[in-house]
Amino acid sequence: MILSSAAGAEDTALLVDTIRAAVGRTDPADGRSERVYRDGPVDHDLWSVLGREVGVGALAVPESFGGLGTSYATVAAVLETLGAELTRVPVLGGVVAAGTLARCPEHPLAGDLLTGIAAGTRIVATVIPGDGLDSPGEGILRADDTDGAVTLTGTVHFVLDADIADTVLVHAVDRRGALGLYAVERTDLRVERMETTDATRSLARLEAAAAPATLLTDRPEPARVRDLALVALACDSLGVARACLDAAVGYAKERIQFGRLIGEFQAIKHMLAEVAVAVELADSAVAHAAWAIEEGTDHDLAEAAAIAALTCGDAAGLASATNIQVHGGIGFTWEHTAHLYYRRALSSSVLWGTADDHAQRLYRLATGRSDREGGTPSSEPAREAATALSATEA
């Protein structure tokens, strides 16, 4: 690991430059589309560099477990950078897992997992619970305890990095209705990689059939786990949005049509200005969410996560679509990376809830209602999310 500390704006900028240089050597933009569809949604060579040599996995891990314990602002900058480069490495999932495990450090296994994440030698995936936290089916399994042996049963879909993970964290309900956070080894699960819209991200279906598990804590915080996941995903989406804006602006400054740079046309100017405003709003939302994680209350984090998810998801969708438009014919080609950014934005916008879900949750938080007072949600957002995640090219 070449990092010894990563505190302050200067160190964060140096870290970001280091990551960009590593990505440029291992997974340069030229030919990236071909490599994505040839090698799949995991770049093992790049992960070896970023995880073990650079040590990005250690950023979100407390120092007591071999990590760097950096501020979330630094973590956010790294996630944004990785999103901007469409990296196929399990850093986003590792950040969520580290934040989850850090809340139960008294368990020996949790400490071992944190140490492995920091060293880049262990990949830990997390099943993100849904809004319906009372029953299995929303990212929550069933736990059975027979003579002291705990097993999990159930099926969950769209689990990030599950097919390459060593260990999976999952919430489960026992026969008494008590919720707990469990760790289960991937080898004890049936794992099937799903073919999804986004070819740069690994999502899988997990099936547990009396899988041996270890209870990490009987006082889990599923809402916080979900909020941490939403903020991390928002950072990734901000990177996508900023990269698409930069690409579109750069192309508009060099493409000549009808004897003029296309950036001089009012229509193009207005499109790019709209994206620029959306990116700035997303940047502010991420900064607020980073503050909420470190200093805010649970309510502050819930609001900030919903705002960041909504704002960054919209910004990434608008920026990636505009990028394709500005590039014109070349933006629609298979060889160009524009469609990869669009697919990443589309997948992220529904991965752990749709924009409508986040807006409704924000309304309930702002009006003082609990999530369970909001009524029964429509099945349309669920169908929309499944379609966006599962759709494949014809």
pLDDT (0 to 100) of residue 326? 92
What CATH number has the domain spanning 126-217?
2.40.110.10
Span 4-52, pLDDT tens digits: 444 477 888 999 999 999 999 998 988 888 999 898 889 999 999 999 8
Q: In the CATH hierarchy, which fold is given to the domain comprising 222-390? A: Butyryl-CoA Dehydrogenase, subunit A; domain 3 (1.20.140)
**Structural tokens at position 290:** 């980073």
| CA 194 remoteness from chain centre | 17
CA dist 9 to 4, 6, 37, 247, Å? 15, 9, 36, 25
Residue 25, φ and ψ in degrees, nearest 5: -80, -40
Class for the domain spanning 8-122: mainly alpha
Q: Of 33-47, 186-200, 291-305, 377-391, where does mean pLDDT reach its minimum?
A: 377-391
Cβ–Cβ under 8 Å, residues 91 and 77? no
End-to-end CA distance of the chain: 43
Whether the pLDDT of residue 199 is over 60: the answer is: yes
User: CA 243, CA 81: separation in Å to the nearest integer?
Assistant: 9
- CB atoms under 10 Å from CB of 138, counted, come to 15
Cα angle 311, 316, 319 (rounded to 5 degrees) comes to: 120
Q: Which residues pair with 140 in a beta bridge?
A: 171
Q: Residue 83 has what pLDDT?
A: 96
Residue 182 clears pLDDT 70, i.e. is over it: yes
Q: What is the pTM of this model?
A: 0.90
Residue 333 clears pLDDT 90, i.e. is over it: no
The mean of the pLDDT values for the chain is 88
Query: pLDDT digit string (tens) for 64-118?
Result: 999 998 999 999 999 999 999 999 999 999 999 999 999 998 899 999 999 999 9
36 closest CA partner among 101, 69, 85:
85
In the chain, what are the domain boundaries? Answer: 8-122, 126-217, 222-390
Quote the CA–CA distance of 273 and 252 in Å, as a whole number: 12
- Residues 129, 173 contacting (CB under 8 angstroms): no
Q: How confident is the model at residue 242 (pLDDT cuts 50, 70, 90)?
A: very high
Which residue type occupies 105?
Answer: P
